[in-house]
Structure 1
Amino acid sequence: MKKPSQSNWFSGLLALLFALLLFFNANASGNISNMSGTNQVYDEMLYNIPVQVEYDQAKYFVSGYEETVNVHLSSANRIQLNLEANEDTRNFQVVADLTKTPLGTSEIQLRVKGLSTAVTAEIEPKTITVTVENKVTKTFDVEPQLPESIEAEGYKVKKVAVSPKTVEITTGEETAKAITRVIAPLSNVKQSADTIKQTVNVQALDDKAQVLSIENPAPQVKVVVDLVLPSKEVGLTISPTGSPPADIDHYTFNLSTQKVEIRGTKSVLDAIDSIELPIDVSNVKSSTKRTIKIPTNAEYIVSPEEVEVTINPVFAGTNTSFSQTSGQSATTSDTSQVLPAPEPSSEKTTSSSSTSSSSSSTSSESSVENEIEKEISSVPAN
């Protein structure tokens, strides 16, 4: 039979072994968990990354290649990936090395330069096609190119000025031989503009009117074009507004001009037959003269811009307009407008009819008496 002290020693040793086993098992689980966490990979797709072309820029001219590509980044380090994905903190560049590329057209492999070792990159597309030429500079005359809308809308070109009249074009040797024209293309103008003033980049064209590659930025010229806008005459239509006094039946209006000239594009002019001229007649009780601005908008120009209008009130029960200040009858014109007014009462109509009948009877009696006197005077005396 074992002693109690020996039994306690054995139990303690067994407990220690179990504790160590549990400790190492826990650490192993934690390490496995950490390892699985570090295996996560993050991705980022970047678009329109510029391609840096490396070549002797003083000697050669390069054209015909795609200037941007897409780049797919991946990394287990999220912070480092974010630094490369952010344009402000980015270290890498997409490079096309042409230092050993011969003259002519070639396909060049792209590579990433300056990227962190913790991040990997895939370029889409992986290659670009470039044309390498000897660099030359030549002088060409500049020809302004007006937008097609100028002719379509009926404009007439009065004068064109280009400054400077000639420019130096830097391009490839073979491309320079293909240039037949150098143009200054103008953009569309405002519909009511009679002068175009634009500063534009020139373009080099071949005999098929195709745009050729030249050094960027291209030379600029200033173009000024004086235009004659299409025009036509339209009438003015008076549109009375406001509330006339109660004793006013209607108004007549005298205009200093019956028609005005409008200028604009053909499509705008075709849609206008007359211009409505609003005139406020509130509280107008005597002949009143006003200067009214003719309504217009950005689509057309009107001339003259103002018209002088004389407003003549016609009082109820009369056919004449009067000036309260002078007592004289006011002259009316053909371009008169009538404001709505209350209809005359039936009593006035009856009174007018009676007066008219009475006048007719009196006239008839007077005619009969004259005839009798003539007959008596024609009888011979005995």
Structure 2
Amino acid sequence: MKKAYQSNWFSGLLALLFALLLFFNANSEGNSGNTASTSQVYDEMVYNVPVQLKYDEDQYFVSGYEDTVAVHLSSANRIQLNLETNEDTRNFQVVADLTNVSLGTTEVPLRVTGLSSAVSAELETKTITVTIEKKVTKSFEVEAKIPDSFDAEGYKVDTVSISPKTVEITTGEETMAEIAQVVAPLSNVTQSADTINQTVNVQALDSKGQVLSIENPAPQVKVTVKLSLPKKEVSLRFTATGTPPADVGSFTFDASTSVVEISGSNSVLETIDTLEVPIDVSGVRTTTKQTVMIPATGDYTIDPDEVEVTINPIYSRSGSGSSNTWTIDDSSTSVGGNGSSSSSSETSSEDESTTDTTENSEASTDQSADSPN
């Protein structure tokens, strides 16, 4: 009896030990899983973050530095990281403190401020080089800067007007002494435009034509330039379009002019010798006049831009027993009423042949009447 009691006690103790072992093992796995889930770190690289300069803007002018940097952000909190990554919701700034920096060119450190404690940041560029000068302002007369491509394309500048003609330039004291010219740089224009109207930011140039740093945004001026474009005479070629009547074999075209003048850049004019003018001949059975616009692209202009055309239908010969093929070729096009067609020539030849045969028959009859029996 004593042995049975001892056996039950031993079995119970053994079961308790197994239960405790399973309990601690399960808790250990759960804690391990929680640790793994909270240890995940998210990373984002943010580019073009503006550099904020801290200095007395009324007294000094700062130039020569990179105004944006890249920042590497990391956090275990994905939501907070997304807020700092988004430009519209971020709280941090990249700052360069120049309050105690001397005049001249020097290297200053960058630091991140305003960042959430849940996010860490590392700057890809840790310092910037700046030039600090005393701030000054001076008035300059503005000149238009014409692109070099104008000469190559054959443009001739007739008149130039700038408004306002004089602007105030703010920059550093030493930079101001280097300014040789203030210009309004024009960009390229449409190849068929004879007038340029552009509003542009002015630039300050040194004696070598290099662009100098001035206050941003720079003053703006409106520039109007009137140009003379290169011109060229080209011929017109008329082509028939549409659906003609079934019994019309061809057409001739008499035009008020066969040559027009086009204006544009040299690179465009060099590619054009002839302009094709489509003429709609649908349903045309009698001589008809049309005023036709000459097709043009935005690369050139045409003078005149329309032409009066007389359409002359030429009917097919009847009784041929074969289907007619409607064709228009260059030989059937004329200007000023001098047109001719192959169809009319063939008809004329046939008539002459018939006349000659009739005359020969009459001559033969006369000879038979005069001969002796």
TM-score normalised by the shorter chain: which range applies? 0.7 to 0.9
Q: Which residue is 1:320 aligned to? A: none
- Residue 357 of structure 2 aligns with an amino acid whose one-letter code is S
Q: Secondary structure at the match of 1:187?
A: coil
Q: Secondary structure at the match of 2:27?
A: helix
Structure 1 pair 347–21 and aligned structure 2 pair: CA distance change class (3 A): closer
- Residue 162 of structure 1 aligns with an amino acid whose one-letter code is I
Deviates more, 1:150-159 or 1:264-273: 264-273
Q: Which residue is 2:197 aligned to? A: 197
- Residue 29 of structure 1 aligns with an amino acid whose one-letter code is E
Aligned residues of 1:312 and 1:332 also touching (Cα < 8 A) = no
Structure 1 pair 356–199 and aligned structure 2 pair: CA distance change class (3 A): farther
Structure 2 counterparts to residues 269-348 of structure 1, below 5 A: 269-314=269-314, 333=336, 336=339, 338=341
Count residues with an aligned counterpart: 350
How far 1:124 moved relative to its partner?
0.9
How far 1:347 moved relative to its partner?
8.2
Structure 1 pair 357–45 and aligned structure 2 pair: CA distance change class (3 A): same
Cα separation, 2, equivalents of 1:208 and 1:332: 58
Cα separation, 2, equivalents of 1:129 and 1:349: 98
Q: Which residue is 2:83 aligned to? A: 83
Structure 1 pair 356–69 and aligned structure 2 pair: CA distance change class (3 A): farther
How far 1:187 moved relative to its partner?
0.8
Structure 1 pair 116–8 and aligned structure 2 pair: CA distance change class (3 A): same
Structure 1 pair 169–347 and aligned structure 2 pair: CA distance change class (3 A): closer
How far 1:100 moved relative to its partner?
0.6
Structure 2 counterparts to residues 1-382 of structure 1, below 5 A: 2=2, 8=8, 11-242=11-242, 244-245=244-245, 248=248, 250-314=250-314, 333=336, 336=339, 338=341, 351-355=354-358, 357=360
- The Cα offsets for residues 289-328 of structure 1, whole Å up to 9 and x where unpaired, read as 22111221211111112212223345568xxxxxxxxxxx
How far 1:98 moved relative to its partner?
0.6
How far 1:14 moved relative to its partner?
4.7
Q: TM-score, normalised by structure 1?
A: 0.82
Aligned residues of 2:256 and 2:336 also touching (Cα < 8 A) = no
How far 1:218 moved relative to its partner?
0.6
- Runs of at least 5 residues in structure 2 that lack an aligned partner in the other structure: 318-333, 368-373
Cα separation, 2, equivalents of 1:76 and 1:316: 89
Deviates more, 1:67-76 or 1:216-225: 67-76
Q: CA RMSD in A?
A: 3.0
Aligned residues of 1:133 and 1:173 also touching (Cα < 8 A) = yes
Structure 1 pair 9–313 and aligned structure 2 pair: CA distance change class (3 A): closer
Structure 1 pair 191–335 and aligned structure 2 pair: CA distance change class (3 A): farther
How far 1:254 moved relative to its partner?
2.9
Q: Which residue is 1:371 aligned to? A: none
Larger Cα-atom Rg: 1
Deviates more, 1:266-275 or 1:137-146: 266-275
Deviates more, 1:39-48 or 1:135-144: 39-48
- Residue 150 of structure 1 aligns with an amino acid whose one-letter code is F
Deviates more, 1:108-117 or 1:9-18: 9-18
Identity of aligned residues (%): 64
- The Cα offsets for residues 195-223 of structure 1, whole Å up to 9 and x where unpaired, read as 00000001111111111111111100000
Q: Which residue is 2:370 aligned to? A: none
How far 1:149 moved relative to its partner?
2.0
Aligned residues of 2:71 and 2:121 also touching (Cα < 8 A) = yes
Structure 1 pair 82–249 and aligned structure 2 pair: CA distance change class (3 A): closer
Structure 1 pair 358–249 and aligned structure 2 pair: CA distance change class (3 A): farther
Q: Secondary structure at the match of 2:2?
A: coil
